[in-house]
Amino acid sequence: MTGAVVDTLSAQEFQREIASRVSAADLAAIASDLDRKSLALRELLTPGAQRPDSAALRQVLRWVFATRRRADEILAQAGPERLGAAIAGLLDPGEPVIGRFDRFGEFAAGLPGSSYELASELLHFTEPGQYWLWTRWMWDPSTETGALRLVTTDDIDLTEGASGGGMYLTVGRATAFVDETGKAAGFTGAGPGLFGTDVFLAAVYGVYMSTVLRMRMTQEFTRLVPPLPALIRRLLGVYHLEV
């Protein structure tokens, strides 16, 4: 990626709208919950430890927004041994992440939920300093929409990449630019590392979603959309923290 990547004016406009709906303390609390989520997943999926059993794998799936409601179905279809082995392979740092990401995608292709969302959450929350998040609300390649598209310049090609793993790398580069620009401009400071950027992008999508719904739907239906803090938590999988 060369030239300007982040549309700073749009990002700052979103930040002003976010600040009018959510306090800085609430955003920081959400980032703190992301840290707790990361700790929980690291404890469940410690590299080199004994393979997680069915109960632990169910808890892992319940942490991920894209698989939360279909955890039992995924476990039944994949089987705990095969799922545990696929996750271990994804998290094994012995080969480049693109190959691991693609192999996990092949394994999970027939399972309920989005394979790339599950893979990215497992990578990001077990190694938050090394890997990043990729969800449909962040960037959906099938519709070319999402929070990243809303805060990056129009000439940036987020579909770049010959495979799911290649696209994951492209999303990571764009996220890094948003993070760096946000740290300088003050709109990704809710939490340490990429957690502040996670919160910002989820809030951007929440603002966008609620604005579009207000334009297209009746007031009765728009009342069903949760307040922005709750919506951010749902998107990031920390609305109900697992025990």
3-class SS of residue 18 = helix
Contact 124, 194 (CB under 8 A): yes
> What number is the average pLDDT over the span 48-63?
86
pLDDT digits (tens, 9 = 90+) for 140-164: 999 999 999 999 998 888 887 779 9
Average pLDDT, the chain: 90
φ, ψ for residue 38, nearest 5 deg:
-60, -45
Structure token pair of residue 215: 């334009």
For residue 2, pLDDT over 70 is answered with: no
Given phi > 0 = left and psi -120 to 50 = alpha, else beta, which region is 3?
Answer: left
Would you list the domain boundaries of the chain? 8-235
Residue 9, Cβ density class (10 Å: 0-12 exposed, 13-18 middle, ≥19 buried): exposed
Closest CA to 69 of 231, 206, 234: 234
Question: Among 62-66, 124-128, 237-241, where is mean pLDDT lowest?
Answer: 237-241
> What number is the average pLDDT over the span 194-200?
96
Contact residues for 112 (Cβ-Cβ < 8 A; gap 6+):
67, 70, 73, 74, 77
Rg, C-alpha atoms of the chain: 18
Q: Check residue 243 and give its pLDDT.
A: 46
Contact residues for 132 (Cβ-Cβ < 8 A; gap 6+):
120, 123, 124, 171, 172, 175, 176, 194
Closest CA to 188 of 151, 154, 144, 153: 151
pLDDT digits (tens, 9 = 90+) for 75-113: 999 999 999 999 999 999 999 999 999 999 999 998 988
φ, ψ for residue 66, nearest 5 deg:
-75, -20
Cα end-to-end distance, the chain, whole Å: 41
For residue 3, pLDDT over 80 is answered with: no
Q: Check residue 48 and give its pLDDT.
A: 62
Question: Among 53-67, 170-184, 221-235, where is mean pLDDT lowest?
Answer: 221-235
Q: Check residue 87 and give its pLDDT.
A: 95
C-alpha triplet 127, 69, 166: angle, nearest 5°: 40
Dihedral sign of CA atoms 221, 234, 22, 215 in order: negative
Question: Among 15-29, 36-50, 66-80, 147-161, where is mean pLDDT lowest?
Answer: 36-50
Task: Give bridge partners of residue 140 from the DSSP assignment.
Answer: 145
212 pLDDT band, cuts 50/70/90, is confident
Structure token pair of residue 233: 């938590």
